[in-house]
Structure 1
Amino acid sequence: MSLSSHLQELKKKHHSLSTAVEEMQRSPSTDGLHVAQLKKQKLRIKEEISRLSGQLH
């Protein structure tokens, strides 16, 4: 897998996590721990995207 295609996959995953977090936060029966875990995962992906983008340029 090339670096640019890997970046695209990470961006898609980041976007889908963002959507999931937003939907969960709108629900009154949301598990706060699960939302926090998703946010941490989203942050790790964002950091990886930044790191890889730096290597690409």
Structure 2
Amino acid sequence: MSIREHLTELERRHENIEKELESTKHHPSIDELEIGQLKRQKLKLKDEISRIRVSG
């Protein structure tokens, strides 16, 4: 997998987590633990995306 493909995959996963977060926030039974986990995953992906862009 090339760096560009890897970056595209990370961006796709980041976007999917964002959509899942939005969906979870509007759900009647909000699970704060799940929201926290999703936010941490999203931040981790964002950091990795930034790292690749800077080094690439």
Which TM-score band (shorter chain)?
over 0.9
Report the aligned-residue RMSD: 0.5
TM-score by length of 1: 0.94
Corresponding position of 1:50: 50
- Residue 54 of structure 1 aligns with an amino acid whose one-letter code is V
- Aligned positions, number: 56
Please show how residues 1-57 of structure 1 align to structure 2 within 5 Å: 1-56=1-56
* TM-score (normalizing by structure 2): 0.96
1:16-40 residue CA offsets vs partner (Å, 9 max, x unmatched): 0000000000012021100100000
**Percent of paired sites with the same residue:** 41
Q: Show structure 2 runs of 5+ residues with no match.
A: none
3-state secondary structure, aligned to 1:45:
helix
Q: Which is worse superposed, 40-49 or 28-37? A: 28-37
